[in-house]
Amino acid sequence: MNAVEIRSLTLAFEQQALFTDFNFDLPQQQWTVLLGRSGVGKSTLLRAIAGLENTAIQQGNIHFPRPLKLAWLAQQDSLYPWLSLLDNVQLEQHLKGKKTRQSRQQAEHLLAAVQMENHLHKGCQQLSGGQRQRVALARTLMQNADLILMDEPFSALDAVTRLQLQDLACDLLQQKTVLLITHDPQEAIRVGDRIYVLHDPRRPLNPAHLPEGKKPRDLTENPQSALQQMLFHQLLQGAPHELV
């Protein structure tokens, strides 16, 4: 069963058409990756799925076969500096005035799961970028959502921290439906169950690439190396000549 079904969708941003007659299915309990260059419209599509870009929809529809709770993990962690780490993780409960001993314990458990239990005394401004994104991941988990929308959440991190957060997300978001947008073929291969290359959203999507092996994957293995070359080739096909 699909978590999201998109049919004949046309999206425009500032009067510029981004997607034309776009069709896409998002299967449940898998990591689906949309891989594409910057500016191709990936974030606009993600925001439309989240219901944040309704004015951009010119025609078509985004259908949820059953009601879903959505969570968003973005490149910017959006932590509130005046809140403690525990309250940032409990943000939904904090805003609704529904914090309890149980919710605090759950927040503490999730911060431990993302390896932040030794930093509870710190303010957000004292954390590194990777640590802040770990807290943001814990906050996402706290929402217990059915569908996680990820807008390049690890792209601003250094290489080692990026790999660590990818590993954590794969471990902690098992059995969840995840839609990740990225411009990094290596990230797509490491974490994706299926990968679509979005080089021209005005044309139908090519069939999904299905990486072999259990994620997070070892990029040095031969099947992954071959897939990486294929993904780079597809991305370059859609790149302007002056950028190639």
Mind listing the pLDDT tens digit for each residue in 156-194? 899 999 999 999 999 999 989 999 999 999 999 999 999
Whether residues 156 and 235 share a domain: the answer is: yes
Asked if the peptide bond before residue 204 counts as cis, ω within 30 degrees of 0, the response is no
Cα–Cα distance for residue pair 103/180, rounded to 1 Å: 27
Q: What is the pLDDT of residue 239?
A: 56
- Per cent of the chain over pLDDT 70 is 97
Does 171 fall in a domain? Answer: no
Confidence category of residue 203, pLDDT binned at 50, 70, 90 = confident
Does 34 fall in a domain? Answer: yes
Stated pTM of the model: 0.92
Q: What is the pLDDT of residue 238?
A: 60
Q: Report pLDDT digits (tens) over 93-113.
A: 999 999 999 999 999 999 999
Cα–Cα distance for residue pair 58/150, rounded to 1 Å: 24
Nearest C-alpha neighbor of 68 from the set 8, 5, 11, 110: 5
Does 167 fall in a domain? Answer: no
Whether residues 56 and 138 share a domain: the answer is: no
Position 37: which residue type? R
238 CB burial (10 A radius; 0-12, 13-18, 19+): middle
Whether residues 34 and 110 share a domain: the answer is: no
| Total count of domains within the chain | 2
Q: What is the pLDDT of residue 39?
A: 79
Whether residues 151 and 59 share a domain: the answer is: yes
Whether residues 59 and 85 share a domain: the answer is: no
Q: Report pLDDT digits (tens) over 125-141.
A: 999 999 999 999 999 99
Whether residues 140 and 152 share a domain: the answer is: no
Q: Report pLDDT digits (tens) over 39-83.
A: 788 998 999 999 998 888 999 999 999 999 999 999 899 999 999
Whether residues 56 and 155 share a domain: the answer is: yes
Whether residues 20 and 53 share a domain: the answer is: yes
Whether the predicted pLDDT of 34 surpasses 80: yes
Does 170 fall in a domain? Answer: no
Whether residues 212 and 153 share a domain: the answer is: yes
The CATH number that applies at residue 202 is: 3.40.50.300
Domain range spanning residue 130? 78-145
